[in-house]
């Protein structure tokens, strides 16, 4: 219905159920808008779950999927692909670049996590890796052509568009499996919320738990970033929204709550990005931050406890 081409609701429904509609309508609905809506839901949900896990793991309300430096790793991968080849490589190259970059950072983080005791040390390490990787990206940008820079900047704005059905299949498998994996950690996350010492004294194998949480967050963030670019703010804001709305600290409640809220917010942001109705759309990351920041401020001002 909404978008640069206006379609009546009836036609959209007919197209969705495979009834006869014009080829243009079918193309717009089935090949463009439906994949985008599914991508927005899955990416929003996945990032929100990662945000919840990171905030709980680091016991820090400012944590999000990006604190491990994984998003920066993806940026470096894409920068290498796009900027060094002068923007000649197609979307597939970007996906591989992003995935490879984030996996390298995830590996470094996991190796470091096996050596350090305190999560806060890991948090600082992740942030520092992120800064170093970003510095490398700036250097690459400095020496690249205008066209290459342009396509890199566009990737950095984030987008739920241009997803093939095969890519959506990969994304949905990762996000859905990630959801069940996170849900299986729910009681351990409850224990962890009492603090690391309490959790360990109550029988939690903290090394196994730590690797599980990092691996899970790393894989979901990598895949979402590879396909959609570094989406800002959803991962940080949605867990706060869900906590405010569902008013529970139990992770058997919070994980589904965050997954559903992430889906709604993902779709909402995509919808707003398309609203102008003119050619193209607003940059997704501008929308997520413009929407996310005031929501978090509103929750704080209403006196609901964030921390």
Partner 1 sequence: MLEVQTLHIGYKKALIDQIDLEAKAGEIVAVIGRNGTGKSTFLKTMGGLIPAVSGKITWNTHDILRINAKQRAQFISIVQTSAPEWTGLTVQEVIALGAYPEKIDPAHVKVVSLLSTFRLEKVSKQRVDEISDGEQQKTMIARALMQDTPIILMDEPTAFLDYPSRKEWWELVSDLRSKNKLIIVATHDIAMLREKGADRIWLFEEGKVSERKDTPDW
Q: Which residues bind partner 1 (CB under 8 A)?
A: 59, 61, 187, 190-191, 193-195, 197-198, 200-206, 243, 248-250, 254, 305, 307
Closer Cβ to partner 1, 4 or 205, answer by number:
205
Specify the 3-state DSSP secondary structure of 83.
helix
Give the separation between CA 16 and CA 2, rounded to whole angstroms: 15
Shortest distance (Å) from residue 210 CB to partner 1? 13
Q: Work out whether the CA dihedral 27, 32, 37, 43 comes out positive or negative.
A: positive
Closer Cβ to partner 1, 18 or 303, answer by number:
303
Give the separation between CA 49 and CA 40, rounded to whole angstroms: 14
Question: How many CB atoms neighbour CB 227 within 10 A?
Answer: 25
Shortest distance (Å) from residue 61 CB to partner 1? 7
Closer Cβ to partner 1, 61 or 256, answer by number:
61
Query: Look-up: residue for tokens 């409640």?
Result: 253
Shortest distance (Å) from residue 248 CB to partner 1? 7
Torsion angles phi and psi, residue 124, rounded to 5: -65, -40
Shortest distance (Å) from residue 197 CB to partner 1? 6
Closer Cβ to partner 1, 226 or 258, answer by number:
258
How many Å is the Cα radius of gyration of the chain? 20
* Angle, CA of 215, 220 and 222, to the nearest 5°: 90
Closer Cβ to partner 1, 146 or 305, answer by number:
305
Closer Cβ to partner 1, 210 or 274, answer by number:
210
**284 and 157 Cβ atoms separated by less than 8 Å:** yes
Closer Cβ to partner 1, 26 or 250, answer by number:
250
Q: Work out whether the CA dihedral 35, 82, 104, 159 comes out positive or negative.
A: negative
Residues contacting 181, CB < 8 A, separation 6+:
212, 216
Shortest distance (Å) from residue 247 CB to partner 1? 9
Shortest distance (Å) from residue 68 CB to partner 1? 20
Specify the 3-state DSSP secondary structure of 121.
helix
How far is residue 285 CA from its own chain's centroid? 11
Shortest distance (Å) from residue 47 CB to partner 1? 20
**240 and 221 Cβ atoms separated by less than 8 Å:** no
């Amino acid at each position: 219905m909404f978008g640069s081409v206006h379609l009546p609701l009836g036609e959209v429904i007919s197209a969705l159920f495979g009834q006869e509609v014009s080829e243009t309508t079918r193309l717009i609905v089935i090949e463009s808008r439906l994949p985008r809506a599914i991508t927005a839901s899955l990416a929003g949900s996945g990032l929100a779950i990662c945000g919840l896990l990171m905030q709980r793991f680091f016991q820090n309300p400012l944590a999000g999927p990006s604190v491990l430096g994984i998003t920066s790793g993806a940026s470096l991968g894409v920068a290498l692909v796009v900027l060094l080849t002068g923007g000649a490589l197609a979307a597939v190259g970007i996906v591989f670049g992003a995935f490879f970059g984030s996996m390298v950072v995830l590996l470094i983080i996991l190796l470091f996590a096996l050596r350090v005791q305190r999560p806060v040390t890991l948090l600082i390490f992740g942030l520092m890796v992120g800064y170093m990787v970003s510095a490398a990206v700036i250097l690459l940008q400095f020496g690249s052509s205008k066209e290459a820079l342009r396509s890199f900047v566009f990737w950095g704005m984030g987008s739920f568009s241009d997803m093939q059905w095969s890519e959506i299949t990969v994304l949905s498998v990762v996000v859905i499996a990630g959801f069940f994996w996170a849900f299986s950690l729910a009681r351990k996350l409850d224990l962890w919320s009492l603090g690391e010492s309490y959790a360990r004294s109550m029988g939690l194998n903290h090394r196994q738990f730590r690797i599980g949480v990092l691996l899970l967050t790393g894989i979901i963030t990598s895949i979402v970033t590879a396909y959609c670019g570094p989406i800002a703010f959803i991962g940080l804001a949605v867990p706060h929204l869900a906590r405010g709305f569902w008013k529970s600290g139990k992770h058997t409640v919070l994980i589904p709550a965050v997954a559903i809220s992430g889906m709604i917010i993902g779709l909402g942001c995509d919808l707003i990005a398309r609203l102008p109705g003119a050619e193209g759309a607003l940059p997704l990351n501008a929308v997520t931050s413009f929407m996310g920041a005031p929501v978090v401020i509103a929750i704080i001002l209403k006196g609901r406890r964030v921390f």
